[in-house]
Amino acid sequence: MRSSTLKHLTLGCAVIAAAGGIGFMRRLPAPKPRASKFCQVRVEPSKRLAVAPTTVAERPESYGFIVKYKRTAKPSVIAQMLEQMSVRRPRRYPNLPLLAFGMCPESDAGATDAFLERLRKHPSVEYVEPNYVYKIGDTRPNDPDFAEQWGHFNDGQPIKGGQRGTPGVDAAVLAAWDVTTGSRDVVVAVIDTGVDYAHEDLADNMWVNEGEIPDNGIDDDGNGIVDDYYGYNAVGNSGNPMDDNGHGTHCAGVIGAKGDNSAGIAGVNWDARIMALKFLDANGRGTLNDALECIDYAIAMKQRGVNVRVLSNSWGGGGYSRALEDAIRAANANDMLFVAAAGNSGTDNDRLPHYPASYAVANVLSVAALSPDDKLAPFSCYGKKTVHLAAPGVDVYSAVPVSVFGQGYKHFSGTSMATPYVAGAAALVLARNPALPVKQLKGRLLRSVAPVAALDGRLATGGRLNIARALGVRGE
């Protein structure tokens, strides 16, 4: 993985140098936390590791690709293919035989990877690659605490200032960012304790209800909730989903803390929009009714045209509820992925179901927690049939409300933290492929896992989330 990243970098510099003159690459410029049910909170102060700030990002030429034609391909056949597939702006590199650049047609912009796959299958084509994005010097964002995020990129660095993980055991987020760093067009709803929407690393990535004028005491959009600007608070039946626990904010940070803004951390998505749906109170407890209200709210917004495609659910407990299952089915019918924490009781969900992760609905994706040495976390539930994959869930560093913790970032452990890794991955895949239906979205996340010996026979895929592979990056 490291070597392939380096390879990309080297190639990137070459491409930038070669193409710079002819316009191929565009330059654009602590109070004690209350433990919630699903999160094993550690309270030791964290040691911040500094990463040298990097320079300006190269912005992707959206939906572009590089193709290599076969030696045997006839120019007339290639020309015909380009026309038939409506490739935009096809160009050759004068001194790089058989290589060419092109852009997906506008009509395929919602399914970029599917388009590239079709192109790849053409008899004249040897290979196709996305138009990778590079930065001068390094692909890392300039967020000062990025090195704490072993789940994004694990180079064997010390975690929490202590033990080192195993290099390469991560969700391959850094390599995924060569393809996309997210999109504000994708909305992820965090159904949890609320979100600190004023947090320095979240404020810019919050979803806002365009139909609502905040803080004027009026239900401007007439949905029955006054001033529901950032989402909904089902506990207080109000429009204010501020987080009074910290758990929901931590999850939101993993999904979409603003990246490359010289502050804090980088979410799996540098850019995204987080909808805050609060149904767990300050102690991390909530009711079925309030959970249903949150799912209902997300569906209502979806039907109003808000692009809510992912529901992140780091909670669980209680028995089987037919009503909750029906609500998840409704979310599925509305093309929403329901990512759910497998649970922290260290038990087999195949034998002892853990809801909502164990509902047998097509859009449910159940997530176990992985440690930095590539093992299932001891607390993590598992299940060969019913738990799908593992994602980083031990000592995950993310945002928390200063009002609760007296500091803005903390390490938490739990399947709660692994869940937003997968929700974030789904959002990143959707940033590049907005039209991907939920069934294919889930299938892609499951198919692209990296196999892990310790997970074999314990999880349905036997693997670790690999976001780069989910985005078509090879060699990860």
Cβ-based nearer residue to Ca ion, 214 or 317:
214
Contacts of 432 (CB under 8 A, 6+ apart): 112, 113, 179, 180, 471
d(CA 37, CA 39): 6
Where does this chain touch Ca ion (CB under 5 A) — which range of 235-243, 343-351, 407-415, 442-450?
235-243
Among 237, 283, 303, 407, binds Ca ion (CB under 5 A): 237
Only one of the segments 107-115, 122-130, 161-169, 210-218 lies at the binding site for Ca ion (rule: CB under 5 A); that segment is: 210-218
DSSP letter for 46, please.
P
192 catalytically annotated: yes
**Measured from the CB atom, is 219 or 348 closer to Ca ion?**
219
The closest of 213, 275, 286 to 245, measured between CA atoms, is 286
Options 150-158, 211-219, 315-323, 414-422: segment touching Ca ion (CB under 5 A): 211-219
Residue with smaller CB distance to Ca ion, 166 or 261:
261
CA atoms lying within 13 Å on the CB side of residue 452 = 32
Cβ-based neighbour number of residue 127 at 10 Å: 13
Q: Residue 260 in contact with residue 177, Cβ under 8 Å?
A: no
> Residue number with the shortest CB distance to Ca ion?
143
Q: Rule CB under 5 A: which of 249-268 touch Ca ion?
A: 258, 261, 263-264
**Active-site residue, selected from the candidate residues 8, 122, 152, 247:** 247
Instruction: Tell which residue, 90, 89, 66, has the closest CA to residue 78.
Output: 90
Q: Which listed residue (174, 206, 234, 272) binds Ca ion by CB under 5 A?
A: 234
- The nearest distance, CB 49 to Ca ion, in angstroms, is 14
Interface stretch with Ca ion, choices 82-90, 139-147, 168-176, 270-278 (CB under 5 A): 139-147
Min dist CB 288 to Ca ion, Å, is: 10
Q: How many other CB atoms sit within 10 Å of the CB of residue 72?
A: 9
Question: Is residue 290 near Ca ion by the rule CB under 5 A?
Answer: yes
Binding flag, residue 219, Ca ion (CB under 5 A): yes
In the complex with Ca ion, which residue's Cβ is closer, 113 or 271? 271
Residue whose entry in the numeric block shows the structure tokens 């989910």: 470
Residue 350 lies near Ca ion (rule: CB under 5 A): no
Instruction: Return the number of the residue (163 or 237) whose C-beta is nearest Ca ion.
Output: 237
Question: How far is residue 416 from each of residues 244, 248, 452, measured CA to CA in Å?
Answer: 17, 9, 21
Nearest to 81 by CA among 131, 112, 121: 121
CA distances from 270 to 177, 257, 280, 339, 421 (A): 9, 6, 26, 20, 13
Helices (H), 396-466: 402-405, 415-432, 438-447
For position 216 contacting Ca ion by CB under 5 A, the verdict is: yes
Catalytically annotated residue among 36, 312, 314, 416 = 416
Which one, 60 or 264, has the nearer CB to Ca ion?
A: 264
Nearer to Ca ion (CB atom), residue 202 or residue 436: 202
Binding of residue 220 to Ca ion (CB under 5 A)? yes
When asked if residue 218 is in the footprint of Ca ion (CB under 5 A), the reply is: yes
Classify burial at 445, counting beta carbons within 10 Å of its beta carbon; exposed 0-12, middle 13-18, buried 19 or more.
buried
Using CB under 5 A as the binding rule, whether residue 227 contacts Ca ion is answered as: yes
The window from 79-87, 282-290, 329-337, 461-469 that contacts Ca ion (CB under 5 A) reads 282-290
Which 141-170 positions form the footprint of Ca ion (CB under 5 A)?
A: 143
Q: Which amino acid is at 339?
A: V
Catalytic: which of 113, 145, 192, 395? 192
Region class of 260: left (phi > 0), else alpha (psi between -120 and 50), else beta: left
Closest by CA position to 260, among listed 252, 269, 270: 270
Task: Provide the minimum distance between the beta carbon of 376 and Ca ion in the complex, in angstroms, as a whole number.
Answer: 29
Question: Cβ closer to Ca ion: 247 or 258?
Answer: 258
- Contact (CB, 8 A) for 348 and 383: yes
Burial class (CB in 10 A: 0-12, 13-18, 19+), 94: exposed
238 touches Ca ion by CB under 5 A: no
Q: Pick the binder of Ca ion from 178, 192, 196, 201 (CB under 5 A).
A: 201
Strand partners for 101: 66, 91
* Residue 416 annotated in active site: yes
377 binds Ca ion (CB under 5 A): no
Active-site amino acid positions = 192, 247, 416
Q: Which residues bind Ca ion (CB under 5 A)?
A: 143, 201, 212-213, 216, 218-221, 223, 225, 227-228, 234, 237, 258, 261, 263-264, 290
